[in-house]
Chains A and B, each alone.
Chain A
């Protein structure tokens, strides 16, 4: 039933992240209806209060909106979703770079390394 959650981050944050990734990957589209709180709770194996919080936080970030009596939807504001895509990209790259710098790699080495690895993947 429940997907695995890591132990040290609040579960609502982990579910938010998953949903954001689904949006960026295009699995969840602009304007698409999200499962009801109860459905989502059953799917993920968490407390309905947690799902409620996820939807509230997504709404606060203008990624989702709640329509009275209808449920929660991914926003139709495609600009906001583009922004989300950019935000996730720079966040991931940022943490990768921070990690590499800490391990002692120079910006040039990082760039070169990334190019090399990408070439291998493409080939």
Chain B
């Protein structure tokens, strides 16, 4: 088992000739909650999609849990998309059953616990859920998997403070950091800061900084938001 859960080695990604990521190399350690920060269009989603094996690098290599990132690593990675990926005609319970059928590592018992923690009604149809409850359901589906890597693309975006709070608390309660690593993109930096071990900041398709949150505070005496500003303008 390799030391790092995610390795990017000299990765470039172009979409129709446009450079989204420019010769990026970095490694992520296991058992941490790691945020990916940067302005819109900086390359965050591209990094997450490459890690999930949903797109392929134009150059370089991405490995996850020691394996090349491609479609078939879906068993290693739980990917929470920023898009609405739920079937509207399913109920909450059917959605959970469906996902349990899709993924061998899906833990239905854990899903049940998170369901009551989130106070979601199992018999409600997805199309009748509020946006906040759809956000909660997506988190439930990601946290119920025993995948070594959980990727989340903007899990808090567009949700109200109560929902964001319940999502953060469910992550603290249900993640298994001895076995799992979380890598998530977010704009809500100050809100998730107490949750984070590490931050990767990206801008213009390049990695601008990567550090442990404790280090940033201890050595630079900066809050994350200040550190971001510093790394992003250099």
Contacts and interface: CB of A to CB of B under 8 A. Distances in A.
A47 B217 contact: no
Contacts of A7: 217, 222-223, 226
Nearest to B169: A1
Given A42-B173, A47-B33, A2 B194 contact: yes
B194 A45 contact: yes
A30 to B, nearest CB: 29
A3 to B, nearest CB: 9
B217 A49 contact: no
Interface size class of B (residues with CB under 8 A): 20 to 34
Nearest to B178: A48
A19 interface: no
A49 B172 contact: no
Interface residues of A, number: 20
Contact of B197 (A1, A41, A42, A49): A49
A71 to B, nearest CB: 16
Nearest to B225: A7
A8 B33 CA distance: 19
B173 A8 contact: no
A23 B110 CA distance: 36
Contacts of A105: none
A60 B213 CA distance: 21
B129 interface: no
Given A7-B222, A45-B168, 15 more contacts: A1-B169, A5-B194, A7-B217, A8-B221, A11-B217, A12-B214, A42-B173, A44-B194, A47-B172, A47-B194, A47-B196, A48-B175, A48-B177, A50-B194, A50-B197
